[in-house]
Chains A and B, each alone.
Chain A
Amino acid sequence: MLRYEDITVGSELPSRDHTATIVQLFMYNAAIWNPHRIHFDHAYATEEEGYDAIVLDGPLQGDWIGQVVTDWIGEDATMVSFGYANRRAAYLGETMSAGGKVEEKNDETKEVKVSLYLKNAQGEVTIPGHAVVRFA
């Protein structure tokens, strides 16, 4: 069980690696109903739009950093706010590492602010983010 009292500012949240397969990417784009060709048509993505390969959806990467928070809090706190930004492209086949850090605690509201990141194997952040969770 995660307790507000036990959380220290500066501590790291458990990280997790994600390597999407073409099947997972297909399922994701089907689930959100996204027909954008850069996510499933290799020839189109590389030849017409100049990408290195099939592009991972930004909101999928955003979801991965959201899971850093939801897996960390479980049922012990609720998500108050969450944000992410698309900084650079990530491609099918890349292993992306999602993680985060405790930035602030507010003893009055029992809210904890965390910063989040998704990094590629070169250590470049493709998606930074932030969230606030509240303990009962």
Chain B
Amino acid sequence: MAGLLTPEITARIGQANPTIHVEVTRRDIQKYAVSTGQRAKKYLDGDEAPPLFHFGYSMAILPPEKLRKDGIAEDKLIPPLPLKRVMAGSSDTVYHRAIRPGDNIKITRKLKDIYEKAGKTGPLIFVVTEVVVETEDGEPILNETTSLIAR
């Protein structure tokens, strides 16, 4: 193995972003439902959130001057990687219950793992993060595992 991952990089495994606290509104759900072209009445009426609704809640809310040139907020969770070309990302979620208006929820995103593998055309670095969404009372809502590959 090439040994691309320095101790500085692997030391970041297990770290988490500050927890985000959200009061879910019907209007937020309706905006998401309309913009994604949902057909189910419960989503369009905002009675229940579609399965991927929580995605936007992980987005940093920063003024424009704090964003990179491409408009993205620096992802402080993932350390700078020695391989710069980021390829396919994936997302896998296990659901416990749907998000509903009036829910007080908290979202925690954690760096679960960084590891390298030998690919056909050179080394690959895999970055795995976990997003946990639960109510403020600790009732589980969903667990999402995302991964991206750099080469």
Q: Interface with A: B11-19, B65-73, B100-108, which one?
A: B65-73
Partner of A82, one of B35, B56, B93: B93
Contact A63 B95 (CB under 8 A): no
The B contact surface, by secondary structure, is: mixed
**Total B residues in contact with A, Cβ cutoff 8 Å:** 31
B36 CB within 8 Å of chain A: yes
- Does B117 touch A at the CB level, under 8 Å? no
User: For B31, what are the chain A residues with a Cβ–Cβ distance below 8 Å?
Assistant: 27, 30-31
Which residues on A sit within 8 Å (CB–CB) of B28?
31
Q: When the two chains form the complex, which single residue of A31, A48, A58, A71 contacts B35, counting CB atoms closer than 8 Å? A: A31
Q: In the complex, which residue of chain A has the Cβ closest to the Cβ of B143? A: A81
Chain A residues with CB under 8 A of B94: 80-81
A-B contact count (CB 8 A): 95
- The interface size of chain A toward B, counting residues with CB under 8 Å, comes to 38
B59 interfacial by beta-carbon distance below 8 Å: yes
> Do A31 and B92 touch across chains, with their CB atoms under 8 A apart?
no
Assess whether A64 is in contact with B37, with CB atoms less than 8 Å apart. Answer: yes
Q: Is the CB of B32 within 8 A of A35?
A: no
Q: How far is the CA of A27 from the CA of B55 in the complex (A)?
A: 15
**Using an 8 Å CB-CB cutoff, how does the interface string of B113-140 with A read, 1 for contact, 0 for none?**
0000000000000000000000000000
Interface residues of A (CB under 8 A from B): 18, 24, 27-28, 30-38, 41, 44, 48-49, 58-60, 62-64, 66-67, 70-71, 74, 78-87
List residues of B whose CB falls within 8 A of some A CB: 28, 31-32, 34-40, 43, 50-52, 55-56, 59, 61, 64, 67, 70-72, 88-95
